[in-house]
Structure 1
Amino acid sequence: MATGRRVSRVAELIKREVSQMLLHSIKDDRVGSGMISVTAVDLSGDLQHAKIFVSIYGTDEARAETMAGLESATGYVRKQLGHRIHLRRTPEVIFCEDRSFEEGNQVLSLLHKLDHERQNKPAASTEKPPVGSLDADL
């Protein structure tokens, strides 16, 4: 089994090589339908399985089309990785869509909305309530 440092180095190398393949080697038109970038590679400890996370910018239709193109190109990507990276066994490649950027943007927009609501909300008065009111008894 490979050490943690080796796994991270090989994962980074796979990320770089797959990014280069997406730019230059993969000829499938479906892959080019959305702007795509490799965000991370999750490599198993025995270097046999690689989950490649990709971020796709575009419409939902373009995302689905791009993922279909990537899934059809997994054999080609694995073969090219075998030629470019000299390992005893080339890892099995699985493409996964990474939606963390979208989720992060949604969280940020909600936080901005809350901040905007707080700024527009009238400030609570600092005056003491009258002696006979319920708030004074607390």
Structure 2
Amino acid sequence: MARKSSPSGNMPTQRQLRAGELVRHAVSDILAREDLRDPELVGVIVTVGEVRCSPDLRHANVFVSPLGDDTEKGRTALAEALNRAAGFLRGRLGREIDLKFTPQLHFIADKSYDEATAIDRLLADPRVKRDLEPE
């Protein structure tokens, strides 16, 4: 029986993490050098924040955001456009990486930058700073 990385099984295994980083670097390289025909993707610089692979490595959730457009609408439109081009990108990915199976790509709008900004804003609040400083 396979051993999980945590008793609850929620944490990814080392294999999933390695494959996720491999896919993240490859997808970033492909998006940087390929000319995609979708009008919504022309001239857009894409930031690939994270890739989470399924335990069998057949599916990968790719968290993306457009560089310079930090609106929810821009991120959602980018994810939808990349999902339309997922078949093309998967074909290119298969040539780039050395895995038994090329994972199905599922693009998701990355909201982690917004969450980090909100946390920074909270920590910069004078009332919170007062509580964090040692007496």
The reply to whether TM is greater than 0.5 is yes
Equivalence for 1:21: 30
CA deviation string 1:63-108 (max 9, x = no partner): 3332222111111111111121232221111011111111111122
Matches within 5 A, 1:1-138: 4-27=13-36, 28-32=38-42, 34-57=44-67, 58=69, 59-115=71-127
- Structure 2 unaligned blocks of 5 or more: 5-12, 131-135
Please tell me whether Structure 1 or Structure 2 has the larger radius of gyration of its CA atoms: 1
Distance 1:18-1:115 versus aligned 2 partners, 3 A rule: same
- 8 Å contact from structure 1 (residues 30, 68) kept in 2: no
The alignment-based identity, stated in percent, is 32
Q: Distance in 2 between matches of 1:115 and 1:42?
A: 37
Distance 1:26-1:18 versus aligned 2 partners, 3 A rule: farther
Find the residue that maps to 1:89 and give its secondary structure: coil
Distance 1:11-1:117 versus aligned 2 partners, 3 A rule: closer
Deviation at 1:35, TM superposition (A): 4.1
When normalised by structure 2's length, the TM-score is 0.72
CA deviation string 1:6-55 (max 9, x = no partner): 32222111100100111111423412465421111101121111111113
- Structure 1 unaligned blocks of 5 or more: 119-138
- 8 Å contact from structure 2 (residues 16, 54) kept in 1: yes
- Bigger mean CA offset, 23-32 vs 108-117: 108-117
Task: Give the alignment's Cα RMSD to 1 decimal.
Answer: 2.5
Equivalences, count = 117
